[in-house]
Every structure is written in C-alpha cells, then in structure tokens.
C-alpha cells in the first residue's frame, strides 16, 4: 500500500474527488505496463478536459514550427487505466542533425494544466491555470494535459531540430515522444508592432499574495512585469504612476505658474518599464483633477497650472525619448460614466474635450487616448481634433469606424469587456481555446493597431477555488493570470510571480500571429520580386486573414486551422 502524496491529495480534492476530511490509501502499481498509459499530442489551442478520452490513433510525434525569437506551445495529454505514482517528464536538448546546432532543453518550459470549477451555466471543470511542473501522481481514468513551451533564440540557425520527451513513473520509462521543431528563416522583432494595455491590479496582487507594499514594489511587481514581457504584453501604466512619483514645487510668477520638478524617482520607474522590460507603450497620466495647486478645476489659475505642469513633463519625456510611446487617458467610457454617476453622456464628453484642450495647449504632441462603449458618431464629432488613440469597444468596430479614425490621423485600437457576449470573442474561460488568440487576426482584419483589456489580476475571490467574477458572473472575467500560491487552498505570504493560464499563453500566440502578418506585409512592400510574385503574396495574406476572421462575430475557432495558415504565411516570408 502506498499513501497518497500531498500533491496528489491537493489535486484530487481540488477536482472534487476527495472530501476535505477524507484520508485514505490507494493501491498503486509501481511498475505498470506502459500500455496502460494513453498519451497523445494535442494543439495548444485545444482544451483538454479531465474526462477527455484518448483518440483512436494516439499521435506520439510532436511536430511544431516557429520563427526565431518566438515562443511555441503544445500539449501532451496523459490518461491511465490504472493509478500511476511519481510521474515525471523529461525533455532532451533539440539537435539539428545537419549542423549539430542545439536548442538547449533549458529553453523548454513545462507546466501542468489545472482545472477550475465553473459553477454557473456549464457546472463543470474547465482547464485554465498552468502550474510549474513538478512530478505528480496520475489517478486512474483522469486526463492530465502537460503544457510545453519552446523558446527559440534570435541567433538560432534555421532548420529542423529533433529531440525526445520521456515520461516516467517511479523512474521507470513508460512512454516516449519524438519532438520535431522546424525553425523558419526569419526572426520576430524585439519590439512587437501590436500595442497593448492590459491592466495590472496591484491592490489585488497585494491582497491575494498576502504581502505589504514594500514587498510588492521590491519583489513581486517585477515578477509580474516579467510575465508581461515574456507574453509580449504591456501593463498599460507604470506603478506607481509616473506623475505620482514626481517631486515638485511651484510658484506663481505674474500670469505664470512655474514648476520645479525632480524627475529622478519617476525616471527610474519609466526606465525600468520602457528600457529594461521593453514595453512599447505606457499611460503616463490619467483623470481630471478636481483641484490642482490649490485651484479648483476650470478656474483660470487651475488651467494655467495644468498647462504649465504638463508642458514641463511632456518636454522632459520628449527629451528622454519617451513621449512618443506615452499617452494620457482622461476619462473611461463617458456614456457609461453617465449611467453610473448620472447626467448626460455628452456632458462627460465635453469634460474630456475641455481637459484635452489644456493638454494640447501644453504640448500638441501629448497623445490622448479615449475608450468608447455605447456611442461612436457623437463623441467622435466632438473630440476628433483632440484624440490621438481611439479605443472603441469591439462591438462598435467596423470598417467605416476604423477608416474614419485613420482618415483623421489617429490610431485605432479596440477592447473587450463583459459586454462582449454571444459570438464575439472574449477572455472567458468557457470560450474556445482560440478566442484570446483570434484578437491578433481580428486586429489585422480591421486595421486596428492596439488592444486594451482592463485587468489581468482583478480577482474577486481566490481564482483557484472560484474563477467566476463575483459581480459579472463570468468565469475568467477581469483576470488572465493566477496568484502563485504555494498552497492553493490555504494561501500564505507569497513572493513568487504569477502562474500563467491557457488564455494568457494564447494572448501571446495571437500577438505573434499578428507579427507574422506584419512581416509578410513588410516583405511585400519592400520586395524586388516580380509583380506576379508580390501579387501572389498579397493574395496569400488576404486569404489567410479571411480564413481566420470574416467579422467580429464570424471567426475561426478550429484548434488546427491556425497552424496550417501560419505555415502558409511563413513559406511566403522566407
């Protein structure tokens, strides 16, 4: 008899197999016949449930393709006809047999796909969290997906790299997979073309990690930043806010307000964010202060102080080379603000215009970003001369809206939220695996340059135990990553970074897909190839996008199609 190990007990309790007061022993076969273990290759875009049965033809050859400086994920699903203990996964180096070049196994990460229970609507367990790999016990008739991610460095030579994935139980080999990675002869750039602003709710991180602010800023925040960087995503704003880190004094000199600003602390934050982590955009200011420098808003003194303050800051940001990447966000969703706080939506729009006038007077190069949920035509007409980044909700996006934004010289983004239901993609756990990935293709389909999401960490309760937003009643709403508890059921102070999710991984895949489209489009524009060749490449690009996205409600959720389309695009690029 073998006593269940703590890791196994936690997993079975988590999935509802063992009552919290139950402690029992289970018979394990320590040297199982390998035929009792079913193992098969699965696309990263396919969700594998704990009760998923193996296919009739179990594919034990993993074939993946990617560019240089790209991450590529896949899954191997395990299901056994008897209990297995101490299951371990080993990956070899990947070797190019043509030139003996190696992609080291340290470039391959392994995670265990966990399940969370969605009590509303579906009333079942869904795969989503990814926990760092450690040996585990596999109960009989339970399907455990293993998540692999390969990173290919920019200096890796093109070609096919092969290796082995070995699965053991109690250190006895019970299954092997062949892994073949084809590295294409092009490289994704260091800085992605796709702009993002995915909020990081620091208050929730502090709360659920059970830490104080000192530990958040000194340790945990940067680990979350690293996860953002690894997933090609920008947090949207520096923490603490750039303008909040400024130390300044001011004096009234005649008709002017003169500021003496110490930028040292704020610049350290900005340098960490923009230079060290390489984020490609940031919100350097937000809101309409009710008072400033002792003046009530909209008074003459207030207006002069705001103009002088932001003139000083914008000139400094420009000198540092940061102004171009930055933007000011005045007021979120003005018509929703009217519903929440009362009043007419146009009043909020006019407040935005009034404050934008002050910012543009300070420096016409200050970019201003604006979200819209309900209406488009009315606020656009009022604000078109002030807004540089328009961020309509996906439900408002169409070819005419994007064309109007472009013709006005502004940059189009979009965002989704709880209001994007039905056949529109979102970040809900219960949507197809392709949903978070399809946004990269949807951006290209509509000519949208950026993607905003309000939060990756707005947990309303422990998401390991309950992933459903307590107010909006949707699983995964407001979060894409998990707090990394050492004990998922009795959280203690935790100074680790976040645990990823299938959805977080698919966000990165979508951004990288978008980069493929950018590369092919660039190749077409600069190529000296005959016009017939360029025409074929352009046709390939358009056909690929149309296969993936016809409209915001008609998009391809097939787990396999995206890989076929990517290969077609890659053949054109190289």
Residue 313 half-sphere exposure, CB side, CA atoms within 13 Å?
Answer: 26
Confidence (pLDDT) at 11: 35
Confidence (pLDDT) at 14: 34
Q: How many residues does the chain have?
A: 574
- On the question of a cis peptide bond just before residue 377, with omega within 30 degrees of 0, the verdict is no
Average pLDDT over residues 44-70: 97
Q: 247-256, 286-295, 516-525: which has the minimum mean pLDDT?
A: 247-256
Backbone phi, psi, residue 540, to 5°: -60, -45
Are 256 and 309 a contacting pair, CB within 8 Å? no
Burial status of residue 228 (CB atoms within 10 A of its CB: 0-12, 13-18, 19 or more): buried
| Alpha-helix runs per DSSP H in 231-344 | 264-270, 300-320, 334-341
| Mean pLDDT estimate for the chain | 92
Q: What is the spatial distance between Cα 178 and Cα 191, in angstroms, rounded to a whole number?
A: 33
Burial profile 90-101: b = 16 or more Cβ within 10 angstroms, e = fewer? ebeebebeeeeb
Burial profile 450-489: b = 16 or more Cβ within 10 angstroms, e = fewer? bbbbbbbbbbbeebbebbbbeeeebbbbbbbbbbbbeebe
* pLDDT greater than 60 at residue 550: yes
Dihedral through CA 44, CA 47, CA 48, CA 54, nearest 10?
Answer: -80
DSSP state of 479: B
pLDDT confidence bin for 10, thresholds 50/70/90? very low
Helix H or strand E encompassing 73:
strand 70-80
Give per-residue pLDDT as tens, 209-223: 999 999 999 999 999
Confidence (pLDDT) at 485: 78
Confidence (pLDDT) at 488: 58
Distances (CA, A) of 548 to 175, 561, 572: 35, 8, 17
Look at the domain 2-185 and name its fold: Immunoglobulin-like (2.60.40)
What residue segments make up the domains of the chain, in order of their start? 2-185, 200-502
- Strands (DSSP E) found in 81-171: 84-91, 94-95, 102-103, 108-118, 124-132, 136-138, 143-152, 159-169
Give per-residue pLDDT as tens, 411-465: 999 999 999 999 999 999 999 999 999 999 999 999 999 999 999 999 999 999 9
CATH assignment of 200-502, given 1.10.10, 3.20.20, 3.90.380, 1.10.3470? 3.20.20
DSSP state of 31: S
Q: What is the spatial distance between Cα 335 and Cα 349, in angstroms, rounded to a whole number?
A: 8
Confidence (pLDDT) at 490: 58
Q: 19-23, 55-59, 68-72, 462-466: which has the minimum mean pLDDT?
A: 19-23
pLDDT confidence bin for 150, thresholds 50/70/90? very high
What are the tokens at 410?
Answer: 């502004």
Backbone phi, psi, residue 98, to 5°: -75, -35
Give per-residue pLDDT as tens, 322-368: 999 999 999 999 999 999 999 999 999 999 999 999 999 999 999 99
Which residues does 235 contact at the CB level (< 8 Å), separation at least 6?
A: 197, 198, 199, 200, 224, 225, 228, 273, 279
Confidence (pLDDT) at 252: 87
What are the tokens at 350?
Answer: 């006019």
Confidence (pLDDT) at 486: 61
Q: What is the spatial distance between Cα 330 and Cα 387, in angstroms, rounded to a whole number?
A: 10
Lay out the sheet containing 389-392: strands in order across. 195-198, 450-453, 411-415, 389-392, 368-372, 326-329, 282-286
């Amino acid at each position: 008899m073998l006593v269940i190990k703590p890791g196994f007990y936690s997993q079975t309790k988590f999935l509802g197999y063992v009552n919290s007061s139950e402690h029992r022993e289970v018979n394990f076969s320590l040297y199982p016949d390998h035929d009792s273990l079913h193992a098969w290759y699965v696309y990263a875009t396919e969700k594998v449930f704990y009760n998923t049965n193996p296919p009739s033809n179990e594919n034990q050859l993993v074939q993946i393709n990617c560019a240089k400086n790209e991450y590529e994920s896949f899954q191997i699903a395990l299901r056994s006809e008897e209990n297995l203990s101490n299951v371990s996964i080993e990956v070899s180096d990947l070797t190019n047999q043509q030139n003996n070049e190696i992609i080291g196994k340290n470039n391959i990460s392994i995670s265990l796909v966990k399940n969370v229970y969605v009590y509303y609507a579906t009333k079942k367990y869904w795969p989503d969290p990814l926990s760092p790999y450690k040996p585990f016990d596999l109960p009989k008739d339970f399907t455990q997906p293993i998540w692999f991610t390969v990173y290919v460095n920019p200096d890796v030579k093109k070609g096919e790299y092969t290796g082995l994935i070995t699965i053991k139980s109690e250190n006895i080999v019970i299954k092997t997979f062949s892994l073949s990675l084809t590295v294409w002869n092009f490289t994704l750039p260091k800085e992605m073309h796709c702009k993002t602003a995915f909020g990081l709710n620091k208050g929730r991180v502090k709360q659920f990690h059970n830490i104080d602010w000192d530990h958040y800023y000194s340790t945990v925040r940067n680990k979350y930043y690293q996860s953002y960087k690894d997933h090609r995503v920008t947090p949207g704003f520096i923490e603490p806010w750039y303008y909040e880190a400024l130390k300044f004094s001011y004096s009234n000199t005649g008709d002017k307000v003169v500021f003496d600003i110490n930028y040292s602390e704020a610049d350290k934050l900005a340098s960490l964010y923009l230079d060290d982590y390489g984020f490609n955009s940031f919100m350097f200011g937000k809101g309409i202060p009710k008072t400033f420098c002792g003046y009530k808003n909209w008074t003459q003194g207030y207006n002069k102080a705001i103009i002088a303050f932001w003139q000083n800051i914008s000139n400094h940001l420009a000198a540092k080379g940061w102004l171009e990447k930055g933007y000011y966000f005045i007021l979120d969703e003005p018509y929703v603000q009217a519903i929440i706080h009362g009043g007419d939506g146009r009043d909020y729009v006019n407040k935005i215009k009034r404050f934008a006038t002050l910012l543009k007077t300070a420096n016409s190069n200050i970019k201003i970003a604006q979200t819209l949920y309900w209406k488009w035509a009315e606020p656009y007409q009022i604000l078109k001369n002030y807004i540089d980044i328009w961020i309509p909700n996906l439900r408002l996006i169409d070819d005419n809206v994007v064309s109007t934004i472009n013709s006005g010289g502004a940059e189009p983004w979009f965002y989704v939220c709880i209001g994007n239901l039905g056949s529109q993609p979102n970040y809900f756990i219960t949507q197809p695996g392709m949903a978070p990935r399809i946004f990269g293709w949807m951006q290209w389909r509509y000519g949208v340059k950026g993607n905003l999401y309000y939060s990756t960490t707005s947990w309303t309760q422990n998401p390991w135990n309950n992933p459903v937003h307590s107010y909006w009643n949707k699983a995964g709403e407001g979060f894409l990553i998990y707090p990394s508890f050492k004990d998922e059921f009795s959280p203690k102070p935790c100074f680790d970074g976040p645990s990823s999710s299938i959805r977080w991984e698919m966000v990165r895949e979508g951004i990288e897909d978008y980069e493929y489209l950018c590369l092919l489009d660039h190749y077409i524009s600069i190529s000296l190839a005959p016009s017939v060749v360029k025409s074929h490449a352009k046709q390939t690009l358009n056909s690929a996008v149309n296969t993936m996205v016809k409209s915001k409600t008609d998009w391809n959720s097939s787990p396999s199609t995206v890989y076929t389309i990517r290969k077609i695009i890659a053949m054109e690029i190289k």
